[in-house]
């Protein structure tokens, strides 16, 4: 039997498998669900075994990792698939049209928490591998690393990977926690920005003061805050923190050419975001600004009286939260230290500074457009959708990509089938059955091509 026939013949049974997986409420964020999370791991390891893998539920400091292996070919390459089996909480059950853990098919969509993010793609990959194994068509080694803590920022994963580096050794990496641009347009992402963050307080008088009685003689923490925040950027839109760009590689001419090919419809984008005009670092195109250049953004800033009417107060404190998006070679810890130094050096008179660093920093990830696995992914997507993928990078951060690259030495290629409208992290999350089928087809073709 050919693998496509195998998939076709088992279509109904595969949907039942998917349902069974979705029915387990593997909510990593809720301690009460710990046993369910473990149950999902056990179920998944069992299903991998059924497909022909060896599989193990491996303990970590937190929720377990499922490690599955099909490695019969000592002389052939090995591909590692990354995914996660945990899901977001599903509170507010009244906002769900059907219970979040009773998967329901409506109009070609399967509605359940975790359907799109990302049990659908874990199942699609597993079933594709199974079809190839069952039909004697899998000609390379496959490992699957499926974690249970992605929705809580993967606290245990970096240590786990480091500890099991030998066992996870591979020649190429596929990240399944990803998606396509639309039902008809595929997407190939070649990078994601890193992230680091801090928050700080400016502390002036020990209590709020009457601005009539003391205005003019006491530093207003809000004035000091505005001065400090304003000092973080230059008039040309670039970041003014000394050393911020020191480790940033200039965009290569090839990369800038590549950027020019990403579509950008200024009028449409303005409308979508509802901005009167765009603004950013001088000398760079929109996509270069969003994904190729680092940024510093204030995510929150506050102090004083914020209610209706007025209150003539000089507040005791002012507060700000900042995150930066990083590009390759910028180190999250170093950037945070530079910002702290900048704030300390420019601290206005009359206020004290207290800085708190966020711990979840991550460096950027970027791969070459001509990377051989990216090239294979590009070909498979073109075959599958009939059009070549839109190529881009993410402006946001996908810390797993740099973790995998750092620990295992290969650029992970993102190859998944979620779509933007599938209500992930919201009530009524769903996954298209057509995406489920496309996923199985896509992963099978990818594994076939990677073997050759």
Q: Which residue has the tokens 């099991």?
A: 164
> Within 13 A of 60's CA, how many CA atoms are on the CB side?
27
Q: Report the site for a copy of itself in 181-200 (rule: CB under 8 A).
A: 193, 195, 197, 199
**158, 407 contact by CB (below 8 A):** yes
Query: Per CB under 8 A, does 425 bind a copy of itself?
Result: no
For a copy of itself, the closer of residues 159 and 298 by Cβ is 298
Q: Is 204 in the site for a copy of itself (CB under 8 A)?
A: yes
Cis peptide before 121 (omega within 30 of 0): no
Q: Which of 243, 252, 254, 278 binds a copy of itself (CB under 8 A)?
A: 278
**Quick one: 4 or 350, whose CB is closer to a copy of itself?**
350
* Rounded Cα distance, 306 and 208, in Å: 14
Minimum CB separation of residue 441 from a copy of itself in Å reads 29
Please enumerate in sequence order all residues whose Cβ is within 8 A of that of 235, keeping only pairs 6 or more positions apart, or say none.
none
Establish if 345 lies at the interface with a copy of itself (CB under 8 A).
Answer: no
d(CA 446, CA 313): 64
Give the binding range for a copy of itself (CB under 8 A) out of 25-33, 285-293, 376-384, 441-449.
Answer: 285-293
326 lines the binding site for a copy of itself (CB under 8 A)? no
**DSSP code of 188?**
E
Q: How far is the CB of 221 from a copy of itself (least distance, A)?
A: 9
Helix (H) or strand (E) holding 106, with range, is strand 104-106
If residue 371 lies in a helix (H) or strand (E), which one and from where to where? none
Give the up-direction half-sphere exposure of residue 228: CA atoms within 13 A in the CB hemisphere. 31
Kindly tell me which residue out of 31, 74, 216, 386 binds a copy of itself, with binding defined by CB under 8 A.
Answer: 216
315 touches a copy of itself by CB under 8 A:
yes
Which of helix, strand or coil describes residue 104? strand
Whether the CB-CB separation of 413 and 398 falls below 8 Å is answered with no
**Is there binding between residue 23 and a copy of itself (CB under 8 A)?**
no
Indicate whether 38 belongs to the interface with a copy of itself (CB under 8 A).
no
361 binds a copy of itself (CB under 8 A): no
Candidate ranges 20-28, 68-76, 276-284, 420-428; the one touching a copy of itself (CB under 8 A)? 276-284
340 binds a copy of itself (CB under 8 A): no
According to CB under 8 A, which residues from 238 to 267 bind a copy of itself? none
Q: Which of 256, 319, 346, 368 binds a copy of itself (CB under 8 A)?
A: 319
Of 386, 437, 441, 389, nearest to 414 by C-alpha is 389
Compute how many residues bind a copy of itself; rule: CB under 8 A: 77
At its nearest, how many Å lie between a copy of itself and the CB of residue 323?
Answer: 5
CA distance 188 to 414: 7
């Amino acid at each position: 039997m050919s693998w496509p026939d195998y998939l076709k013949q088992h279509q109904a049974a595969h949907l039942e498998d998917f349902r069974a997986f979705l029915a387990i409420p593997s909510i990593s964020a809720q301690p009460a669900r710990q046993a369910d999370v473990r149950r999902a791991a056990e179920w998944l390891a069992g299903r991998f075994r059924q497909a022909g893998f060896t599989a193990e539920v491996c303990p970590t400091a937190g929720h377990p990792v499922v490690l599955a292996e099909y490695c019969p070919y000592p002389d052939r390459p090995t591909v590692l698939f990354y995914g996660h089996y945990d899901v977001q909480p599903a509170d507010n059950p009244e906002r769900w049209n059907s219970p979040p853990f009773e998967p329901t098919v409506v109009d070609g969509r399967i509605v359940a928490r975790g359907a799109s993010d990302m049990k659908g793609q874990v199942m699609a990959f597993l079933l594709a591998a199974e079809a190839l194994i069952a039909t004697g068509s899998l000609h390379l080694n496959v490992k699957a690393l499926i974690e249970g803590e992605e929705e809580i920022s993967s606290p245990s994963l970096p240590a786990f990977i480091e500890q099991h580096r030998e066992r996870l050794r591979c020649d190429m990496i596929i990240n399944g926690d990803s998606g396509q641009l639309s039902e008809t347009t595929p997407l190939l992402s070649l990078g994601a920005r890193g992230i680091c963050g801090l928050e700080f307080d400016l502390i002036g008088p020990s209590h709020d003061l009457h601005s009539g009685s003391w205005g003019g003689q006491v530093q207003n923490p809000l004035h000091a805050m505005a001065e400090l925040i304003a000092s973080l950027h230059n008039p040309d839109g670039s970041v003014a923190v000394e050393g911020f760009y020191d480790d940033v590689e200039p965009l290569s001419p090839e990369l800038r050419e590549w950027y020019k090919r990403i579509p950008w419809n200024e009028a449409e984008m303005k409308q979508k975001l509802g901005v009167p005009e765009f603004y950013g670092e001088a000398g760079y195109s929109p996509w270069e600004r969003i994904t190729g250049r680092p940024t510093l953004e204030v995510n929150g800033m506050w102090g004083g009286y914020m209610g209706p009417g007025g209150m003539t107060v000089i507040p005791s404190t002012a507060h700000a939260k900042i995150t930066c998006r990083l590009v390759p070679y910028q180190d999250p810890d170093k950037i945070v230290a530079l910002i702290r130094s900048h704030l300390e050096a420019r601290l206005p008179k009359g206020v004290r500074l207290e800085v708190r660093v966020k711990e979840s920093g991550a460096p950027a990830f970027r791969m070459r457009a001509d990377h051989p696995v990216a090239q294979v992914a590009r070909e498979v997507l073109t075959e599958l959708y009939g059009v070549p993928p839109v190529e881009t990078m993410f402006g946001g951060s996908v810390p797993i990509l740099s973790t995998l690259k750092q620990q295992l030495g290969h650029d992970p290629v993102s190859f998944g089938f979620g779509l933007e409208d599938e209500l992930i992290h919201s009530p009524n999350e769903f996954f298209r059955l057509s995406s489920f089928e496309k996923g199985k087809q896509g992963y099978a073709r990818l594994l076939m091509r990677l073997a050759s």
